[in-house]
Structure 1
Amino acid sequence: MRCPYCGHLDTRVIDSRPAEDRSAIRRRRSCDECGKRFTTYEKVETIPLIVIKKDNNREQYDRTKIETGILRACYKRPVSADAIQKTVNAVETEVFNREEKEVSSTVIGEIVMDKLKSLDAVAYVRFASVYREFKDVNTFMEEIKKFLDK
């Protein structure tokens, strides 16, 4: 690993431990040349995932879009930041465990709704109202009835 301070190629690992979300390894390194210390993160490289949108456009998977959607749904709800991150991680894990190179945004939306259903009922209905593009109160009420019946 190249030292970010002096550019020297020889650095050594002083300490390794799992990162907070356990999806990466955090390493403390020391440069043999200048003696300065820095931190690196090592993460498993995943295959690039392509998302097929509703209009059939394709774009690269972006975790922040899922995170933003869930954050909006949970806005002013008694849901902790930790619970939101765990939900985002669970959605991402389920998407990547499909081991497909392309996945429909509809599939991702359904996974998010499934996770939100058990996280917070209001957040679920908020997300569903945007995701399913409710046109009127009747379609909104039908979704709430489906939720209450389960």
Structure 2
Amino acid sequence: MMATTPPMRESHDTSKSTSNSSRKKRILVVDDERDITDSIRSVLKAQYWVDVGGSSSQALSSYRPGFYDLILLDYRMPTIDGFAFYQQIKRIDPKVKVCFITAYEELHSKILNLQWQNKVNSIFQEDTTLPVLKKPFDTATLLAMISRLLGE
């Protein structure tokens, strides 16, 4: 029996709004494993506003372009896999940064292929490297990757 995916859970307090330059960065975590999303949220909530999408289809349907600074995205999910989600999100929000989180080696070859296509099609565009955090990862690695991606 498949578990029902809970609606997107917001863990930030919108009453503490600040200016864009000093506001907490917003991170969307999309993973169908609740223990993973809960762990990531507990690590990040002191520094970032963290929203969680329990499924790629649910996160995609409620996604707001320009709202998030970074998406942490699982590769293997039911209905829409992480790679298809990435392609759809980049069509509607090309500037959002995405970091895959996965335990699967096959993602590496897909990413290399996409990087090659991106570099050929947009040589003078921004860096097209797709970062990957390989599960399991530790807190220090997660925080370092996020800091690098957000330019902190």
- What is the TM-score normalised by the length of structure 1? 0.27
Higher helix share: 1
- What is the TM-score normalised by the length of structure 2? 0.27
Higher strand share: 1
Q: Which has the larger radius of gyration?
A: 1
